[in-house]
Amino acid sequence: MPDLQGVLDEIAAEMSVRTDRGEVAAYIPQLARIDPAKFGIAVALVDGRVLTAGDAEESFSIQSVSKVFTLTLALGKVGDALWRRVGREPSGNPFNSIVQLEHEAGVPRNPFINPGAIVVADMLLAGHQPREAIGEILRFVQFLADDDGIVIDHQVAASERATGYRNVALANYMKSFGNLDHAPELALGVYFHHCAIAMNCRQLALAGRFLADRGRGAGGHSVVSAERARRISALMLTCGHYDGSGDFAFRVGIPAKSGVGGGILGTVPGVGSVAVWSPGLNAHGNSRLGTLALEKLARAMNWSVFGA
Ligand SMILES: NC(=O)CC[C@H](N)C(=O)O
């Protein structure tokens, strides 16, 4: 295989000088303060090696990338019954859109748009206090990455809670259809906190490694079955970038999940996982340079799941 470290170094060097960086998310005030000049990338190979370049050791808000981990945890708890309350189709709409919920009985199209992730958060509550569910999610992510140092940025969570009017609307709307078991504010408390998990690229790549390694996590333990890892990856490919998912598959060709903090977690089945971070976003709320970096990486390494 081509010299992966050399490819990562070259990509990081190019990305650090580009000026077309996109816009940092401003609707969550704490995220608006992040330096758009940052760029980090990390690859966790299934053979155990981790390679990084750029600001790969600097923590950022993983935001919607966390939806991969909450979906995985919820599937472990409720199994395929989850799909009675959340669909598996791309929405073709922005991540915070409400329009389809009215015609589709309050059942969100998929677990990666905000309403889908709020339903998943509601499942993780399972009659407990939000604090317990949040603690369980954090411990699960720490376990996946084999790293106890991962924390929640409570300032980001508070910032989103104070301004998350759309998410409040989505939760209340779904509650009116009977698709939340708990009070909307409880499900939202879980949701805002898991979105506020802070990780660096190295930790994020390690946490996602189970997707590339037939369900085996960074610590070598089996996290999920190989089939479940495949299915979660399929949803990442079709829904992981919202209404930009088709374009991402076209350009990059690997299953991946984005977040408005500028992070993207991708998986190359049988090879490894990759995490990239560049805070500036494109019009769909996906990292602009993060996407470009993954496009270049996948091309240089022949990593598209659609063939070399
Ligand atoms: N796309 C995202 O990362 C959105 C997550 C963010 N916490 C929100 O609910 O708006």
Q: Please confirm, yes or no, whether 97 is among the known catalytic residues.
A: no
Pocket of ligand 1 from Cβ distances under 6 Å: 63-64, 95-96, 114, 160, 167, 195, 259-260, 285
Per-residue pLDDT tens digits for 172-198: 999 999 999 999 999 999 999 999 999
**How far is ligand 1, taken at its centre, from the CA of residue 267, in Å?**
21
Predicted pLDDT at 220: 86
Locate the ligand 1 atom nearest the alpha carbon of residue 196 and give its number: 7
Residue 27 catalytic? no
Q: Tell me how far the alpha carbon of residue 257 lies from the centroid of ligand 1, in angstroms.
A: 12
Is the pLDDT reported for residue 266 higher than 90?
Answer: yes
- DSSP single-letter state for residue 42: E
Residue range 137-151: mean pLDDT, rounded: 97
- Out of 260, 271, 274, 276, the active site residue is 260
Residue of 110, 114, 284 with the most ligand 1 atoms within 8 Å of its CB, for mutation: 114
Closest C-alpha to ligand 1, atom 9: 114
DSSP conformation letters of 256-268: EEE-TTSEEEEEE
The answer to whether 245 is a known catalytic residue is no
pLDDT (0 to 100) of residue 2: 87
Write the pLDDT tens digit of every residue in 30-74: 999 999 999 999 999 999 999 999 999 999 999 999 999 999 999
Based on the number of CB atoms within 10 Å of its own CB, is 14 exposed (0-12), middle (13-18) or buried (19 or more)? middle
Q: Residue 308 has what pLDDT?
A: 82
User: What's residue 97's pLDDT?
Assistant: 96
CA distance 96 to 94: 6
| Closest-lying ligand 1 atom to the alpha carbon of residue 260 | 3
Is 167 labelled as part of a ligand binding site? yes
Asked about 260 being catalytic, the answer comes back as yes
Instruction: Tell whether the model's pLDDT for residue 132 goes beyond 90.
Output: yes
Measured CA to CA, the distance from residue 293 to residue 280 in angstroms comes to 13
Is a pLDDT exceeding 90 seen at residue 1?
no
pLDDT in tens, 100-129: 999 999 999 999 999 999 999 999 999 899
What mean pLDDT is reported for the chain? 97
242 is known to lie in a ligand binding site:
yes
Start-end of H helices in 150-200:
154-163, 165-176, 184-195
Better-predicted residue by pLDDT, 302 or 2: 302
Please give the pLDDT value at position 31: 95
What pLDDT is recorded for position 272? 98
Q: pLDDT above 90 covers what percent of the chain?
A: 97
- Which of ligand 1's atoms lies nearest the C-alpha of 63? 3
Q: Please tell me the distance from the alpha carbon of residue 104 to that of residue 90, in angstroms, as a whole number.
A: 14
The pLDDT value recorded for residue 219 is 84
Q: Is position 64 annotated as part of the catalytic site?
A: yes
